[in-house]
Chain A
C-alpha cells in the first residue's frame, strides 16, 4: 500500500523526479503490474483501489493508464484531480482526454481553456459552447488518422456472402449440408469463373458447375452426383445473388465525413454477374470485387498489385519456395485478366460512342501505359519462365518438379493473355479513327435540336431517383404517342356479365366419325395401263423398235403409247446401280436406232431399239451389295 500513498503524494509535474530511486526497468515492470491490477479492481467495482493502482501506473506513463486514471477519478466525482490527469493525457496525445476534460470542467463550472491555460485558476465566466467543439474535432482527427478504414470495411464486406453460405446451409431442406464447406466451394467457383474469363466471353453456367463438382464430391464422396451438382448450382446462384431484384449485395458501413459527422453509407457490390454473349447466350463473369477477394490483395491498384505479385514470385523462385510461388503466379494471372477487362471496357465504349471516351488525353495515355506495361511484363515473365523451367529441369524432388511444371503453364498462359491484350491495343487507334469517320464527319448541322445523350440522358442519370422520375415520365408520355383507350360497350358488357354460366360437360362430347369421300382417281395412267406397258416392254431375248411398240400400244387406247414412250425414254441410259441395289434381275435397255420414229399418231423423234437385259452382279460386288443392304 505504500506505493499507493506514494502515488497520492506525487503531483504530475513531479513525475520522473525519483527515477533515480529505482532502476528504470523495475519501475516499468512494477507500473505495468499496477495497471493490470487496477483494471481488475475496476472490473470488481473497487474504485478507490483501482484509482490507486492506476495512479502508480500513470506515474510511469504506462499504456493508457493516465486516461484510465482520469476516467476512474471522474467516475468517483474527484473532478479536480481528474482534470489535471486529463490535461496530462491530452498532452500525451490521447484525444479522448479532451472529452473527459470537458465533462470535468462542466461539473466544476469551469470555462474551457482558450489556449495553454494552467489548470488551476478558476475563472468566473460561464461555460461557453466551446467544449462542445472539442469532441467533434477529436472525432475528425480520429477519422483522418485512419484513412484505410473504409477500404478495409469494404474489403471485409466482400467476404460476407461467402460466410453467409456456411451460416445458411443448415436451413437447406433438400440436403444435409453439414459435410459441405460452402465457403470453399464458393471460392472454388469464383476461381473457375475467373480462369475461364477471356476478353470476349465468360464462363458458361454448365461448364462452371462441371468443373466445381469434382471438388464438391471430394468433400462428400458418399453422396450422390445429383446432390453434388445441386450444391454447385446452389452456391453459384447464391454468388449471383439470385432471388433479389437487383442481385446486389448491400453492406452498410459508417464513415466520418469531412464535417466530423458520422454517416452511414451503403456499399453495393456483386461477386459473379451474368452477361450476354455475342449470340445472346448468357455467360458468367466475376466482378472486380470478387477478383480482389480471391486474390486477397484487397482494394489495390491494378498495376501496382501486378508488379508486386510478380516481384514476389521472382523472389520466391530464387528462394525455391515453389508452393508460394504458384499462388503468386495465379494472382498475377488474375491481375492480368483484370487489366484486360479495363481496356476492353474502354474500347467497347469507343466503338459505341466516341464522345464518352476522352481520346485527347485519357485513352492515349492509357494505351501508352498499357503498352509499356505489357513490355515490362513480357520481360519479367519471360525471365520467370526461364527461371522456373530451369528450376523444373534441375530439381530432383518430383513434387518440386510438378509444381514448377504447373507454374510454367500458368506463366505461359499469362504471356498468352498479354499477347492478346497487345493485339487489342495495337488495333485500338485504328478503331478510333474508323469510328471518328463514321460518327463525327458526316454531314453538316441542319437545324437546332437537342443532343439527346449529352443534354438529356446523362443529366437524368446523374439525378437522384426521386428527381429523375418527373423528367422521365414527361419523356415517356410524349415519346410514346397517343393510345386509343379501350371503350367497352355497356350493353354488351352487361349482357356478357349477366350471361348464365354454361354447365360444362366433363367429357368433350361424342367422338365424331368423319365421313370420308373416296379420293378421286385423276391419274393419267391407270393400273391397267401399267400392266399393259409392263407386258409390252417385257422383251427377254428379243429386240423391238419403239415405233412398232407404239403402234401396238395405240391399239389398246390413246393413253398407253405415251406411257410406253416415257418408259422407253427412261430406259435410255438406265440407272444400273440403282437396279443392282434394289435387287432387280432384269431391266429395260434402250439404244438409238439412228432413224426417225415411224408412228401413226404423230410422235416425233429418234427411234429406239428396246430389249430387256439381265442384271448380272459380279461375285465380290454381290457381297458388298449384301453387306450394304444388311
Chain B
C-alpha cells in the first residue's frame, strides 16, 4: 500500500510480541484487534510482520480475528519448545525414551480427540471437547485394538527380552497404570492420566486449550490457535516423519512445509 516507516516497524513487532503471549486474543484487546485487521488488509505491513517473525526464528502460521497471530518456532529458534525440556521435569527412573514417547502420545491423543474427524480439523468453526478421562480411554482402546491385531498376526504379543527397545509404543502405554492412589490423594504424575492431565494444563497455560466447566471435570476445549497449530504444522510434521519411516502408505498429500500465511482478502 505504502512505504513502511519506523512506527509501522514498531507496530509489526508489537503484533509478533502479542503472538508470543499465548493467552492474549484480539477479542479482548482493541490494540491487538487493530493490528490483526491491519495485517489482513495491508500487504506491506503483513510482509513486515512476516519478516520480523522470520528474523526471530518464527513462522507466521495464520492471522485470524479469532486466534490472533499464530506463531510457530522454527528449529533452532530460541522460542522453540523441546520435548527434552518438557519431559525433563518428569521422573526419569526408567528409560528416557519411554517417558518421552508416553508424553508425546498424550499430546498427540489430545489433538486426535479434540479434532476426531478430518473435517473437524479443517473446520474453523468446530469446537471440540477433551477430557483427561476420554483421552486416556481412547488411547487405551487403540492399544487394545493393536494388541488384538498383533495377536492375530503373530500369535504372540510379548516382546523380546533381549531387545527391550523394540517394545512397541502401545505396549508401553497399555502397561503403564492409568491411575495410582497416593497417600495424600494427589494425582500421580507417573500414571497415564497424570501425564494427560499435565499435558492439558500445560497447553492451557499457553492458551492452546481452555478449561470448561468445573475444575474437577477436567474438561477442556481447544482454541482456534491450537487448531491452526495442529492443522498447519504439527500433524504434517509428524506425518512426514511417519512417511520417512515408511509406516504409513505414501498417498497423494499436499507437500507440507511451513509457509507464512498469505494475508486474507
Assess whether B229 is in contact with A464, with CB atoms less than 8 Å apart.
Answer: no
Knowing A461-B146, A462-B247, A464-B165, the reply to whether A472 touches B105 (Cβ < 8 A) is yes
Whether B239 contacts A455 by the Cβ 8 Å rule is: yes
* A248 engages B230 (CB within 8 Å): no
Q: Would B118 and A465 count as touching, CB distance under 8 A? A: no
A482/B239 in contact, CB under 8 A: no
Determine the distance from Cα of A453 to Cα of B233 in the docked complex, in whole angstroms.
16
Are A456 and B100 interface neighbours, CB within 8 A? no
- Which residues from chain A contact B167 at a C-beta distance below 8 Å? 464-465
Q: Assess the A481–B22 pair: CB atoms within 8 A.
A: yes
Is A264's beta carbon under 8 Å from chain B?
yes
Q: How far is the CA of A450 from the CA of B240 in the complex (A)?
A: 12
Evaluate contact between B104 and A468: CB separation under 8 angstroms. Answer: yes
Asked whether B123 lies within 8 Å of A446 as measured between CB atoms, the reply is yes
Complexed CA–CA distance, A477 and B229 (Å): 10
Given contacts A473-B100, A477-B80, contact A348 B141 (CB under 8 A): yes
User: Do A459 and B242 have beta carbons less than 8 Å apart?
Assistant: yes
Which of B117, B123, B137 gathers most chain A CB within 10 Å?
B117
- Which A positions have Cβ atoms within 8 angstroms of B? 150, 205, 242, 245-248, 252, 255, 263-268, 270, 273-276, 280, 282, 345, 348-349, 352-353, 356, 439, 443-453, 455-485
Question: Can you show 15 pairs from A to B with CB atoms below 8 A apart?
Answer: A273-B177, A456-B108, A457-B105, A460-B108, A460-B242, A462-B146, A463-B247, A471-B104, A473-B104, A475-B111, A478-B72, A479-B233, A480-B206, A482-B81, A485-B78
B1-9, B31-39, B168-176: which one contacts chain A? B168-176
Q: Are B111 and A452 in contact (CB-based, < 8 A)? A: yes
A470 contact set on B, CB distance < 8 A? 241, 245
Whether B238 contacts A471 by the Cβ 8 Å rule is yes
- Cβ B139 vs Cβ A448 within 8 A: no
Interface string of B72-111 (1 = CB under 8 A from A): 1101011111110010000101110110110111011101
Within the complex, which residue of B101, B122, B202 is in contact with A468, where a contact is CB–CB below 8 Å? Answer: B101
Given the complex, which residues of A lie within 8 Å of B27, measured CB to CB? none
Is the Cβ of B119 less than 8 Å from the Cβ of A443?
yes
3 nearest CB pairs, A to B: A472-B104, A479-B234, A478-B234
The closest CB in chain B to the CB of A453 belongs to: B112
B156 at the interface (CB under 8 A from A): yes
- Cα(A275)–Cα(B193), bound, Å: 10
Q: Which chain B residues have a beta carbon within 8 Å of chain A's beta carbons?
A: 19-22, 58, 70-73, 75, 77-83, 86, 91, 93-95, 97-98, 100-101, 103-105, 107-109, 111-112, 115-119, 121-123, 133-134, 137-139, 141-146, 156, 158-162, 164-173, 175-181, 190, 193, 202-203, 206, 208, 216, 225-226, 229-231, 233-242, 245, 247-248, 253-254
Distance to closest chain B CB from A487 (angstroms): 9
Known: A445-B118, A449-B122. A266 touches B83 (CB 8 A): no
Q: Are B177 and A247 in contact (CB under 8 A)?
A: yes
Chain A residues near B253: list those with CB within 8 A. Answer: 448
- A463 lies within 8 A of B79 (CB): no
Q: Which chain A residue has the least Cβ–Cβ distance from B228?
A: A481
Interface-central residue, B78, B146, B170, B181, by most chain A CB under 10 Å: B181
- Residues from chain A with a CB closer than 8 A to the CB of B22 are 481
Which A residue's beta carbon lies closest to that of B173? A461
Bound form: Cα–Cα A67–B238 in Å: 61
**Smallest CB separation, B60 vs chain A (Å):** 11
* Given pairs A464-B169, A482-B19, 5 additional interface contacts (CB within 8 A): A450-B236, A469-B100, A476-B103, A481-B81, A483-B206
* Cα–Cα distance between A24 and B237 once the two chains are bound (Å): 81
Alpha-carbon separation in the docked complex, A450 to B233 (Å): 11
- Greatest chain B CB density within 10 A among A268, A452, A478 is at A452
Cα separation A267 to B98 with both chains bound (whole Å): 18
Asked if A476 contacts B112 (CB within 8 A), the reply is: no
Known contacts A463-B245, A475-B107, A484-B20; A451/B117 CB under 8 A: yes
> Residue among A470, A471, A485 with the most chain B CB within 10 A?
A471
Q: Which of B83, B93, B162 contacts A476 (CB 8 A)?
A: B83
| Shortest distance between the CB of B226 and any CB in chain A (Å) | 7
